[in-house]
Amino acid sequence: MKVIVLGAGVVGVTAAWYLAKAGHDVTVVDRQPAAALETSFANAGQISPGFSSPWAEPALPLKVLRWMASRHAPIVIRPRIDFAMMRWIEQLLANCNAHDYDINKSRMLRIAEYSRDCLDALRRDTGITYDDEQRGLIQLFRTQKQVDHAARDMSLLDQAGIAHEFLSPDEIARHEPGLMENRHLFKGGLRLPGDESGDCHMFTQRLAQKAEEELGVTFHYETTVEALDASATDIFGVRTSAGRMTADAYVVSMGSYSPLLLRPLGLHLPVYPTKGYSLTLPVTDAARAPVSTVNDATYKVSITRLGDRIRIGGTAELAGYNLRLRRDRRELLELSFSELFGASGDMSQGAYWTGLRPSTPDGTPVIGPAGRFSNLWLNTGHGTLGWTMACGSGRVLADRMSGKRTEIPCLDLSLDRYTTA
């Protein structure tokens, strides 16, 4: 088939790669001048299948109420008249129970684990590098309550067959020597040895180049997607700033902007932007800097080593499509990093960035056909885990579009889980 992929972030580019590998004629359209210049540009850098958990957990409503009075809350809701946000929050709260949490986490673990396997295979096949490390991830718990909550997650990891171990503060410091001086701050940690790290922007741009040079994928950059032309059951074109384009099939991978494109077609995609922030610092003291990747469970901040840089990422802010860089969010990132790793990075040289994560209320991405339209496909809604789930999502999508049997169950990842609920 001739396939047009709308969006050149990590999710769109990996989908284009696997579709082209399956023999399709693929074109990618994006409004930016190159690949991975929006949400994929400066994310936390973690490929963390074992850390795949929905925000919608049973304790979330009380936590949010408690955080409302805190300047350094990991989740912030900016008051606004926004019916899409209100509907999304309502759906999020409906998932804040133990039953749905277990279902949603198991779905997320399935696609995330598969995605890491796909990335491993892609790395072997292509030799691609991206400041990548395969050293695992450690989630740090500062309170006993966090340790107790982790026991439930560990039981789900057991069921999914995902390697993990609980570590004491001294054991954590053996894996991350930079935490030795501050190990009194935490009660323990969960280590996930199968998790990885790497620069998502670097990976996506290099994969896009390989897709173009080796597989013949065509990229139309600086081209804004304006609308989809449709009949009652089919898409017959996409209007862009460079003119109308046609194909046999269309894939929407436009992140947080996907629901805006689909709404005129009568498709209600439950994706809303959760704004995240990051700081990227040069390493100044390698002995005290992180070796791999660490998550601070208290502030929900991720700290990752990327070559000679440190990436600090986190927070979730509901503020629509606002891309303002807020000072209080930077303070939170700086606070978590400084408490754990001191002055191992030069904060004065930190590159501050924000991006909009396309989040679903249940945490699971939307991968599959789009409602009544026979040739329209969705690959979006990955939230904070787009980098983690990109390769697996692209492979699942390519297999389904090619009429092949997928290697993992995936029907419950499609839009139907909302329309049939």
From CA 398, how far away is CA 291, in angstroms rounded?
35
13 annotated as ligand-binding: yes
Q: pLDDT tens, 182-202?
A: 999 999 999 999 999 999 999
208 is in an annotated binding site: no
Note whether residue 75 is domain-resident: yes
Is 238 known as a binding-site position? no
In a domain, 121, yes or no: yes
**In Å, what is the CA distance from 174 to each residue of 47, 166, 297, 345, 394?**
22, 13, 19, 20, 37
Kindly state whether residue 189 falls inside one of the protein's structural domains.
no
pLDDT (average), residues 237-263: 98
Domain count, the chain: 1
279 is in an annotated binding site: no
The more confident residue out of 124 and 64 is: 124
Q: Is 3 annotated as a binding residue?
A: yes
- Judge whether residue 312 has pLDDT over 80: yes
Task: Tell whether 251 is in a known binding site.
Answer: no
CA 272 to CA 265: how far, in whole Å?
A: 18
Task: Give the mean pLDDT of 373-385.
Answer: 97
Q: Strand pairing partners for 240?
A: 225, 243
Mean pLDDT is lowest, of 2-6, 22-26, 77-81, 398-402, for 77-81
Q: Is 166 a domain residue?
A: no
pLDDT bracket for residue 51 (50, 70, 90): confident
Report whether 14 belongs to an annotated binding site. yes
Q: What pLDDT, in 10s, does the model give residues 7-48?
A: 999 999 999 999 999 999 999 999 999 999 999 999 999 999
Question: CATH no. for residue 390?
Answer: 3.50.50.60
Length of the chain: 421
> Which residue carries 């540009």 as its tokens?
41
Residue 124 within any structural domain of the chain? yes
Residue type, position 311, single letter = R
C-alpha–C-alpha distance, residues 304 and 290, integer Å: 7
Within 10 Å of residue 221's Cβ, how many Cβ atoms?
16
- Residues 6 or more apart in contact with residue 231 via CB below 8 angstroms: none
Q: What range defines the domain where residue 291 resides?
A: 2-136+194-418
390 band by pLDDT with thresholds 50, 70 and 90:
very high
- What Cα–Cα distance (Å) separates residue 249 from each residue in 95, 223, 263, 288, 386? 33, 19, 19, 51, 22
Q: How far apart are CA 358 and CA 253, in angstroms?
A: 10
Say what the pLDDT of residue 358 is: 98
* Residue 6 annotated as lining a ligand binding site: yes
Confirm whether residue 64 is marked as ligand binding. no
- Give 362's pLDDT tier (boundaries 50, 70, 90): very high
Confidence class for position 162, pLDDT limits 50, 70, 90: confident
| Distance in angstroms (rounded) separating the CA atoms of residues 224 and 243 | 10
Q: Give dist(CA 47, CA 132) in Å, integer.
A: 10
> Is 60 exceeded by the pLDDT of residue 353?
yes
279: β partners = 312, 352
The pLDDT, as a whole number, for residue 66 is: 83
Query: Roughly how many angstroms between the first and final C-alpha of the chain, as a whole number?
Result: 32
The reply to whether 16 sits in an annotated binding site is: yes
The reported pLDDT for the residue numbered 71 is 79
Q: Whose CA is closest to 376, among 415, 421, 404?
A: 415
Q: What is the pLDDT of residue 133?
A: 94
- Poorest-confidence range of 154-158, 336-340, 370-374? 154-158
10 is in an annotated binding site: yes
Tell me the pLDDT of the chain averaged across its residues: 95
**What pLDDT sits at residue 230?**
97
Residue 11, marked binder: yes
CA pair distance 163, 419, nearest whole angstrom: 35
Decide: 376 and 252 in contact? Cβ < 8 Å.
yes
- Give me the mean pLDDT over the 307-333 stretch: 95
Sheet holding 243-245, edge to edge: 225-230, 235-240, 243-245
Question: Which residue, 198, 195, 204, 197, is CA-closest to 40?
Answer: 204
Q: Is residue 160 part of a domain?
A: no
Has 381 been labeled as part of a binding site? no
pLDDT range class, residue 234, cuts 50, 70, 90: very high
| Both tokens assigned to 55 | 């925000």
On whether residue 247 sits in a domain, the answer given is yes
Report whether 28 belongs to an annotated binding site. Answer: no
Give mean pLDDT, residues 395-411: 97
**100 is written with which tokens?**
């749905």
Q: Is residue 341 part of a domain?
A: yes
In this prediction, residue 421 has a pLDDT band, given cuts at 50, 70 and 90, of very low
Q: Is 355 annotated to bind ligand?
A: no
